Amino acid sequence: MGSQSRKPLIKRIAEKVLGPSFADMLWKRIEIVGDVVIIRRAFDVSVEVYKAIGEEILRELPYIKSVWLATSPVKGSERIREYVHIAGEKKSETMYKEHGCIFKVDFTKVYISPVLGFDHIRIAKMVKANEKILNMFAGFGPYSIIISRYSKPFYVVSIDLNEFAAKYARINIELNKVDAFNEVIHGDALLITPTFHEEFDRILMPYPDIFENAFKVSLSAVKIGGYLHPHLFVEAQNKHEAMQKAYDIIKLHAKELGVVVETLGGHVIRGVAPRKYHVTVDAIVKSKYKKQ
């Protein structure tokens, strides 16, 4: 099989419309969610060029119904982007599958990142039977639901400030038939989490923008011997250095808050800018030696 045929189809579509130099920059910015394609805009490329790519995607991929251009970074407490519809049906709600689970989502109303798919199942495989789990920034529920399907938690509490995220989380919990041990709370996790008082065996914090505040409040709700999975941004020369720096940051923050943690592992989610990485760390709380 030739090298051309081994290239991802999306990259070949980008090359066909733009040529190889632009395609190398663009194709990694394209994500498929169900029957919708989302392209994250590079600001030196005009919208008209993206429309041409969108039309070509519709011709090459018959199952794709709609193509959208994300024109802003994720922003605000509700974690959403701005979008422009560029081809196909003007629909933003879609159904997609991940690790055997099905999700309904409107990406213009809730945060979605297919690149997190590996970490969803990675965490699910770490969960032990009968754990009590808190997902502080649950979005439409992928971590919570995949954990519920692949592990045997006692219960999972999902919190999100975005009312649409909470709505879709409830819908998706029912779609995947895990409603018996899942609870969704629409509200501010930074305010709600401290009210639980060392209740949880595991706490997820998939919101790197507010890492420090999230980590601080999680310590009041996690049991000694419980697990923490904070997400954070780290500046580093490479992925290995980013992971090591993330371990050091977690230990330092814990120490400053009167807690001893042991880092057990983690994962570099992706590079978000030159020498800047989105990282998640797995840590266990060993002791708390002063009141929070």
Query: Of the candidates 91, 123, 148, which is a domain's last residue?
Result: 91
The predicted structure's pLDDT at residue 28: 66
Phi-psi region of 245 (alpha: psi -120 to 50; beta: other; left: phi over 0): alpha
pLDDT tens digits, 21-70: 666 666 667 888 999 999 888 767 778 888 988 998 999 889 999 999 99
pLDDT at 212 over 50: yes
**Residue 81 and residue 159 in one domain:** no
User: For residues 102 and 95, is the Cβ–Cβ distance under 8 A?
Assistant: yes
Provide the token pair at 183. Answer: 């609870």
pTM: 0.90
pLDDT tens digits, 156-190: 999 999 999 999 999 999 999 999 999 999 999 99
The predicted structure's pLDDT at residue 287: 92
**Residue 181 and residue 250 in one domain:** yes
Residues contacting residue 256 through CB under 8 Å, at least 6 positions apart: none
**Residue 61 and residue 176 in one domain:** no
**Residue 152 and residue 257 in one domain:** yes
Cα-Cα-Cα-Cα dihedral of 273, 126, 211, 162, to 10°? 90
**Residue 46 and residue 109 in one domain:** no
**Residue 87 and residue 108 in one domain:** no
Domain holding 48, by residue range, is 3-91
Please, is 175 exposed, middle or buried when counting C-beta atoms within 10 Å of its C-beta (0-12, 13-18, 19+)? middle
Provide the token pair at 231. Answer: 């997400």
The predicted structure's pLDDT at residue 23: 66
Confidence of residue 14 (pLDDT cuts 50, 70, 90): confident
Provide the token pair at 127. Answer: 């969960």
The predicted structure's pLDDT at residue 242: 97
Any domain includes 211: yes
**Residue 108 and residue 212 in one domain:** yes
pLDDT tens digits, 3-13: 343 347 777 77
Location of structure tokens 């689970």: 101
